[in-house]
């Protein structure tokens, strides 16, 4: 079995799959308040998701991240997790993980840990309950904090993902950092990306470049760059005073494409070879055309042979060149 390698000799070892476009929150940078969600028939079924992920694993994917929308609001999603976890048992899959808003973790953390999940990423932009409600519109902070606690109690490592938003959580930088240090969570900041159809003005207003955030951190702490790379857009520093590791995901200002080992699949089975480009391949049709996986494998191989060298976001001239019209909740962040 030849493993997936793209035209630039990058092995494809990391797959992110969105299992739903739905969510119990309405974060302002991610969704409109009133969203039109997809009809159920358009979504991959749990069985189709399993076939799709298993095929990628057979072709060399070793790390699988489940996302959404909010993955834990998909009906029966634990059935999917339990089934796909068989690849952890065989050793074919090295890591199975998820990105979640944390709202359902109190309910599911123990089960997730029991099937072999070791880490979860939880998105949390503020520790202020009123601000949390404002940014998520429908979210409630205590529920998420309870979820995080349940995850920890179950033995899951928690990484907090915080979207850096100018005029919103600039003052939260040090409180968040202190809280993560005291709770033992890793912390990664994400630069806000030009997704969806929110007004251009609003996004540019909210754009807080991580180099500015980093400079703010450096006023108080000694930062050491770490060589560690994940094959994705994250870069890490160690805060010498606390020993904490902090990540920065800067898809807009830094080029991380040369080491890109990842692709993503939407909840409708579109394979995106690059987060920043529209080119995609429909995997739902081959999934539904045959109960064997040959057509699916051919479609995946054909798509990977088109994986582009890099992407084209550019905020530097205060324009949104390269803007993507899809929402993160659709492609899966």
Binding partner selected for residue 193 from ligand SF4, ligand SAM, none, CB under the kind-specific 5 to 8 Å limit: ligand SAM
Site for ligand SF4 (CB under 6 A): how many residues? 12
**Distance (Å, whole) CA 255 – CA 301:** 25
Strand order in the sheet with 270-272: 223-225, 234-239, 245-249, 186-191, 157-164, 119-123, 95-100, 63-67, 14-18, 262-265, 270-272, 280-282
Pairing of strands 280-282, 270-272: antiparallel
CA dihedral 253, 195, 303, 66 (to 10 degrees): 100
Subset of residues 144 to 183 that bind ligand SAM, contact rule: CB under 6 A: 161, 163
- Largest Cα separation within the chain, whole Å, is 59
- Scanning 8-16, 27-35, 141-149, 225-233 for contacts with ligand SF4 by CB under 6 A, the matching segment is 27-35
Name the minimum Å distance from CB 182 to ligand SF4: 24
- 136 sits in the region (left: phi over 0; alpha: psi -120 to 50; else beta) called alpha
Of 43, 57, 180, 190, the one binding ligand SAM (CB under 6 A) is 190
Q: Token match 């993503």: residue?
A: 264
The one among 104, 261, 280, 329 contacting ligand SAM by CB under 6 A: 329
Which 58-87 positions form the footprint of ligand SAM (CB under 6 A)?
Answer: 67-68, 70
Q: Would you say 23 and 261 are in contact if contact means Cβ atoms under 8 Å apart?
A: no
Residues 275, 35, 132, CA angle at the centre, nearest 5°? 80
Annotated binding residue 27: yes
Contacts (CB under 6 A) with ligand SF4, residues 82-141: 101, 123
Task: Choose between 62 and 191: whose C-beta lies nearer to ligand SF4.
Answer: 191
Q: Contact with ligand SF4 (CB under 6 A): which of 20, 329, 330, 331?
A: 329
Least separation in angstroms between residue 199's CB and ligand SAM is 13
Using CB under 6 A as the criterion, which residues of the chain lie in contact with ligand SF4 when the complex forms? 23, 25-27, 30-31, 68-70, 101, 123, 329
- List contacts with ligand SAM (CB under 6 A): 23, 29-30, 67-68, 70, 99-101, 123, 161, 163, 190, 192-193, 195, 328-329, 333
């Amino acid at each position: 079995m030849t493993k997936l390698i793209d035209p630039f000799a990058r092995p494809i070892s990391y797959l992110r799959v969105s299992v739903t476009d739905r969510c119990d929150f309405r974060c302002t940078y991610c969704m409109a308040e009133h969203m039109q969600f997809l009809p159920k028939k358009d979504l991959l079924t749990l069985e189709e998701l399993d076939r799709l992920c298993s095929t990628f694993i057979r072709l060399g994917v070793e790390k699988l991240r489940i996302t959404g929308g909010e993955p834990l609001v998909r009906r029966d999603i634990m059935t999917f997790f339990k089934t796909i976890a068989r690849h952890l048992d065989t050793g074919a899959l090295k890591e199975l993980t998820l990105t979640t808003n944390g709202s359902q973790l109190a309910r599911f953390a123990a089960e997730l840990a029991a099937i072999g999940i070791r880490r979860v990423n939880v998105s949390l932009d503020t520790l202020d309950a009123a601000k949390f409600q404002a940014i998520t519109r429908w979210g409630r902070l205590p529920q998420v904090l309870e979820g995080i606690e349940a995850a920890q109690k179950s033995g899951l490592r928690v990484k907090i993902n915080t979207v850096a938003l100018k005029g919103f959580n600039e003052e939260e930088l040090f409180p968040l950092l202190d809280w993560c240090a005291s709770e033992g969570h890793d912390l990664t900041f994400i630069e806000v990306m030009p997704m969806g159809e929110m007004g251009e003005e609003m996004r540019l207003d909210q754009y807080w470049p991580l180099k500015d955030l980093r400079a703010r951190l450096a006023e108080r702490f000694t930062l050491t760059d770490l060589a560690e790379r994940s094959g994705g857009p994250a870069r890490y520093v160690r805060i010498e005073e606390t020993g904490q590791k902090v990540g920065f995901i800067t898809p807009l200002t830094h080029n991380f494409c040369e080491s890109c080992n990842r692709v993503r699949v939407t909840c409708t089975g579109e394979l995106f070879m690059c987060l920043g480009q529209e080119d995609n391949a429909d995997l739902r049709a081959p999934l539904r055309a045959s109960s064997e996986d040959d057509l699916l494998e051919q479609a995946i191989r054909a798509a990977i042979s088109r994986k582009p060298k890099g992407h084209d976001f550019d905020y530097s001239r205060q324009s949104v060149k390269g803007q993507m019209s899809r929402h993160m909740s659709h492609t899966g962040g």
